[in-house]
Structure 1
Amino acid sequence: MAALSLVLTPQTVDDLAAIERLDEHAFGPGRFARSAYRLREGVEPDYSLSFVARVGTLLVGANRITAIRCGEAPALLLGPLTVDPAFRSGGIGEALVQKSLDAARAAGHALVLLVGDLPYYEKMGFRRVPPGKITFIGPVDPERLLYCELVEGALDSAGAKVRRVRAR
């Protein structure tokens, strides 16, 4: 039997139902109450920066990048990052994040935020946001609020209040 290889491709609208099932399985219905979800609510992901992972025809992972603002500065919100439990610990999540960061950098973006675990994301260039630097629209554990500068000094120019970007 031939080994199936991992393929990363940009998300499309056609992937959304499969991604929703994956997110439901991984995070359950409580995910909608989280502050990061509230920032994404009603805003389409940036499909050129959001990717899916497939093994054969099976969608096994996905991440989403959404435009946000930190004060007046544009930024990106990474998440959710979801990998099917049967495929975890295989580097799929890291590959998805790196693909998005590379695409965002190439597109001229400067700053990416996420809410997650520093030990996992630190190896991809994320650091903890300094206390009081950024305020979300709802409660967020400050230990889990992370950033990655795609352009050096981008966090310095970011304002404190994070808000969603309205759809055009």
Structure 2
Amino acid sequence: MSALSLVIRPEHPDDDGAIQRLHARAFGPGRYARTAYRLREGVTHRADLSVTASVGGFLAGSMRMNAVRAEGPAFLALGPLAVDPSFEGRGVGSSLMRAGLEAAKTAGEGLVILVGDAPFYARFGFAPVPPGRLLLPGPVDPARFLWLELAEGFSARVSGTVLAA
């Protein structure tokens, strides 16, 4: 896939159906039981910070951001980041990450958390959340609970249980 064939753009409201089908293909029915999904239940994601990747007219990937809070100022939870299985390993996820993080920085956001594969997300600057600093509303492997500070000193201002904002 050439770089020219991949189009990264802000999510549009009419993308929702295709994104829901993408999530089903990428994560299967078990996705609803995951702790990260508990943060998103019943809340609307930040469409202004969410991006899609398309090849031709096909939605190849999507990355959404969600507003969350704990003790201190509100921040972001990244997810889900989904890539259609037929496009895995082709840089779609990395392209979405770069675009979404740039949108969050431009919007003045201070912190992004996620639950995911540490080796993949480390290349974007994510590191494990210090033990006991933030807690999620369900079980999570501490090695997969990551954060990225977008504004220096922001992470020192948050602690406690993370909830949807």
- What band does the TM-score fall into relative to the shorter chain? over 0.9
- Return the alpha-carbon distance in structure 1 between the equivalents of residues 155 and 23 of structure 2: 29
- Return the alpha-carbon distance in structure 2 between the equivalents of residues 153 and 88 of structure 1: 35
C-alpha displacement at 1:140, in angstroms?
Answer: 1.1
- The percent identity for this pair of structures is 49
Is the 8 Å Cα contact of residues 126 and 146 (structure 1) preserved in structure 2? yes
Q: Which residue of structure 2 lines up, in the alignment, with residue 42 of structure 1?
A: 42
Q: Which residue of structure 1 lines up, in the alignment, with residue 90 of structure 2?
A: 90
- Return the alpha-carbon distance in structure 2 between the equivalents of residues 134 and 3 of structure 1: 37
- Return the alpha-carbon distance in structure 2 between the equivalents of residues 72 and 138 of structure 1: 20
Change in Cα spacing, 1:161 to 1:6, as seen in structure 2 (3 Å) is same
What does the per-residue CA deviation read over 1:50-73, in whole Å, with 9 as the maximum and x for residues that have no partner? 001000111000011000002232
How many equivalent residue pairs?
164
* Displacement over 2 Å in runs of 4+: none
Change in Cα spacing, 1:94 to 1:3, as seen in structure 2 (3 Å) is closer
| Superposition map of 1:74-85 within 5 A | 74-85=74-85
What does the per-residue CA deviation read over 1:119-149, in whole Å, with 9 as the maximum and x for residues that have no partner? 0000011011111111011111111000000
SS in structure 2 of the partner of residue 155 of structure 1: helix
For structure 1, list consecutive stretches of 5 or more residues without a partner in the other structure: none
- Return the alpha-carbon distance in structure 2 between the equivalents of residues 80 and 163 of structure 1: 16
Q: Which has the higher helix share?
A: 2
RMSD over equivalenced CA pairs, Å: 1.4
- Return the alpha-carbon distance in structure 1 between the equivalents of residues 57 and 131 of structure 2: 43
Q: Do structure 1's residue 25 and structure 2's residue 25 form an aligned pair?
A: yes
For structure 2, list consecutive stretches of 5 or more residues without a partner in the other structure: none
- Return the alpha-carbon distance in structure 1 between the equivalents of residues 3 and 155 of structure 2: 43
Q: Which residue of structure 2 lines up, in the alignment, with residue 150 of structure 1?
A: 150
Task: Using structure 2 for the length normalisation, give the TM-score.
Answer: 0.95
Is the 8 Å Cα contact of residues 4 and 55 (structure 1) preserved in structure 2? no
What does the per-residue CA deviation read over 1:38-59, in whole Å, with 9 as the maximum and x for residues that have no partner? 1111111111110010001110
Q: Which residue of structure 2 lines up, in the alignment, with residue 69 of structure 1?
A: 69
Deviates more, 1:85-94 or 1:115-124: 85-94
Q: Which residue of structure 1 lines up, in the alignment, with residue 110 of structure 2?
A: 110
* Paired letter, 2:77: L
| Superposition map of 1:115-134 within 5 A | 115-134=115-134
